[in-house]
Chains A and B, each alone.
Chain A
Amino acid sequence: MRKLQAIGRRIGGRLLSSVPAILGVVILTFLLMRVLPGDPAVFFASGPSAGQQEIEDLRKQMGLDQPVPVQLVRYLQDIATGNLGRSMTTGQPVLTDMQQRLPASLELTFSALFLALACALPLGILAALRPGSAVDHVVRFLCTLGVCMPTFVSGLLLIYAFYYLLGWAPDPTGRIDIFASAPPEITGFLLFDFAVTGDLEGFRAAFSQLILPACTMALFVLAPLARMTRASMLAVLGSDFIRTARSIGLAPWRVILVYALRNALLPVLTIAGIVFSTMLGANVLVEKVFSWPGVASYALDALLASDYAPVQGFVLLMATIFVLVNLLVDILYGLADPRIAAE
């Protein structure tokens, strides 16, 4: 009970202290967007022949004729009411656009994180249990290599190997083959939607589209995760309480699972949170390589077109997700580590 209260307090504190951070992010983005080159009003006027009057009207409509502070206040009011503005490129409200595209990004990120964790944890643990062994060397080599590989290069090389050379992967564009039947609209997570509707064919198609980008992303974050698991497991295995556990005659597997692993996973949890937010940024590159219709590529297109609203909305979304992920990490940490409650 006391523990839950402590966790509750922590969450409250964390949420409160993240408000200025999010606000800062929003304002910073807003100001950055104001100095973007080019006049959006000119850009979005009907054509090069658009008259001065038409541009002026557009300015007024977009609120660009007001001084920057007024624009900022107006923007903040809009955010508070859930209005993120309208994209000039797609002509739709930013919120609608993002709702359509966010599941694609999240599906990719989550599958990649899952893949990475599923490989990194066992590898890291094995390496720590047998330091200096062949497994250890392989893991260290993989880690070093993984950090060095830019996602856009590894993605392209994967395409070359699995699409061009081996022909195992489908055409690396988008989430689903353009000729395939349209996916059912439930959650937007294709794997989930196909599974729920029992469409195995669709599931297979979506899965085969997803696997290459997810692997690309997973390769990128495998290294820090495995490295951290190994380091923290090694540190824990060398600590006094492991010696105690062995001194009372506990079975080796119990020492490793109950005593070592639970302690070693705490720092890995923190790193996993950081890795997740790194992936949100790295999404831009992977989505571009695989023409993945996610939020990041949406924001990139908008950025290149000097289209404010989607970029601002995207950054706000990312910051919010970042805060939520950290919150989740905090809660898990609080549940796993009783020392937190004492703070």
Chain B
Amino acid sequence: MTTPLLQVQDLEVTFATRRGAVAALRGASFALDPGEVLGLVGESGSGKSVTALAAMGLLDKAGRVTRGSIHFDGRDITRAGAGVLRPMRGAAFSMIFQNPRAALNPIRSVGAQVADALRAHRDLSARAARDQALALLEQVRIRNAGQRLEAFPHELSGGMCQRVMIAMAIACAPRLIIADEPTTGLDVTTQKAVMDLLAGLTRERGMAMLLITHDLGLAAQYCDRVAVMEQGRVVEEAPPAALFGAPGHAYTRRLVAACPTPSSTIASLSPDGELPAEPVARAPLPAGTPLLLEVRDLVKTYPGGVAAVDKVSFTMKPGESLGLVGESGSGKSTISRLVTRLIDATGGEVIFDGHSVSDIPARDFHAAPQRSQIQIVFQDAGESLNPRFSAFDSIADPLRRLRGLRDGSELTKRVKDCAVSVGLPLPLLDRFPHQLSGGQRARVGIARAVSVDPKLLVLDEPTAALDVSVQAVVLQLLERLRREKGLAYLFVSHDLNVVRMLCDRMIVLRNGQVVEEGDSQRIFRAPQADYTAELIAAIPHFEPLAA
């Protein structure tokens, strides 16, 4: 048996916080052989990133390794000083970070930064470093690499910046690359391109890679082995097929189930969840039922002349759920705000329940009778709650404004009912947003929107910022509310799987225009437009059968 390239044994890392020492890692162990790709998966707070930073010796000052060891190529680097680690960083192992744009120096050209990575370990002239940097940029397939040398990070797209970051990481041919959520925040097609590049480069050069991700599909597709982390420990480790085919640990089972796949249903995401597993059976609406929402030739042009939404039309029946899918810049969020009448359209018409609501300016819409009928749930539940309102006040606000309820038992009762219906424990009503977990905040955001019994609920990526297990629960809650209250959903998302599960129909958007529209299952099975097919193909998946 060979010596493992990276061996982490019983690692414990504690952070000194104002409330005393908090352990981020509680005895994590795993090993990585030369040339191997190991996936480290887990939800937020599981300690994945801390593991990576500890291995690199880049923990910030508050964090300390309190137990266990890290060996690189047989050498103990657990508490090695900067003198030992600095020559190794970049040369023996290097790291690729999340959010590539922030990870690059904003006021230094990318060529200079790649050259910095080279000259940190090699005695090169400026000229030679520049030539090698150019070669590296070409290897990460940056077009017009010669011109890009002089570019600054803000002039490049996120995917481009990540390629530069990869070029820096491989510059001195390290034996190990640690990639910490390298594609989080990138569009799914960009993600595929970046991951394919990264996997190809590591394979060609025989480098080992530690891929840290929250996305099980990504880990399954690119890793030889996957380790699952929970609360600072590795709970299970196996090749992807075995791990996802027959998860052994209870946590892994839950995690795998919660991950949306082409065959999952909302009920299957969380088997012991609140939703009965029976298939969705909806009574067809009687013929001649008037449309709930009709959007005609909607246009929104922002100052500068870019059309964010370009002649989009669609209709919704009462109680129907419609998905709006697209990558960043597709105009899906703008449409959600136009329909919710938070912003004014440049052109086109929005007809709600037989009345044109696009004539009422957004600034006056708060007083329009339709205000309580159209409500919205926002992407980041934490950011969409007033930091100075308790959960109670957040839910009570629309009741006070739109139902005219004054403080008193009636209001308290309505808020409590609402909290119960979204599964928010009543004692939490007194808490402020920062005292709630992500899932609890999402529940408050949903409770606020449904408290005034709207007919149409616009959901703008309501689960994008949540861990998969929390997402599963929230999706189930949304599905149950829809069945109970007969709400119509306009569901905006970048995740095709989620849209397929929750929506009857979907619209695929690109650059503000409709690319394809139709039945969700049908689009998923047999996409008509090339773009849709590309989107579906780019989704990382871990079911061998679906491949």
Contact = CB atoms under 8 A, between A and B. Distances in A.
Interface stretch (B80-88, B193-201, B519-527): B80-88
A168 B90 CA distance: 57
Interface string B153-172: 01100000000010011011
Contact of A247 (B82, B95, B99, B108): B95
Interface string B92-126: 00110101001111111100000011001100000
Contact of A248 (B107, B120, B155): B120
Contacts of A266: 107
Nearest to B61: A131
The 3 closest A-B pairs by CB, nearest first: A249-B90, A249-B89, A248-B90
Contacts of A336: 107
Given A243-B58, A247-B97, A259-B105, 9 more contacts: A241-B104, A244-B105, A247-B95, A248-B169, A248-B172, A249-B172, A252-B86, A258-B108, A263-B106
B171 A241 contact: no
Interface of B: 56, 58, 60, 82, 86-91, 94-95, 97, 99, 102-109, 116-117, 120-121, 152, 154-155, 165, 168-169, 171-172
B241 to A, nearest CB: 32
Most buried by A among B97, B105, B106: B105
Contact of B88 (A249, A258, A338): A249
B87 to A, nearest CB: 6
18 contacts: A238-B60, A240-B97, A241-B106, A244-B103, A244-B104, A245-B116, A246-B58, A247-B94, A248-B90, A249-B121, A250-B90, A254-B116, A258-B108, A258-B116, A262-B108, A263-B105, A337-B106, A337-B107
Interface in A225-260: 238-241, 243-252, 254, 258-259
B413 to A, nearest CB: 47
B105 A248 contact: no
Nearest to B151: A338
B89 A247 contact: yes
A80 interface: no
B116 A263 contact: no
A27 to B, nearest CB: 32
B198 to A, nearest CB: 16
B103 A240 contact: yes
Contacts of A254: 116, 120
A258 B392 CA distance: 50
A248 B168 contact: yes
Interface residues of A, number: 25
Nearest to B101: A240
B58 A339 contact: no
A244 B97 CA distance: 8
Interface of A: 238-241, 243-252, 254, 258-259, 262-263, 266, 336-339, 342
Contacts of B154: 338-339, 342
A342 B155 contact: yes
A251 B108 CA distance: 17
A301 to B, nearest CB: 47
**Majority-rule SS of A interface residues:** helix
A249 B87 contact: yes
B105 A247 contact: no
Nearest to A260: B105
Contacts of A258: 108, 116
B107 A249 contact: no
Contacts of A263: 105-107
A320 to B, nearest CB: 31
B168 A339 contact: no
Contact of B117 (A248, A339, A342): A248
Contacts of B104: 241, 244
A266 B105 CA distance: 13
A101 to B, nearest CB: 40
Most buried by B among A243, A244, A339, A342: A244
Nearest to B104: A241
Given A248-B94, A248-B171, A241 B120 contact: no
B94 A251 contact: no
Contact of A339 (B95, B107, B120): B107
Contacts of B108: 258-259, 262
A311 B116 CA distance: 55
A333 to B, nearest CB: 11
A241 B86 CA distance: 16
A241 B102 contact: yes
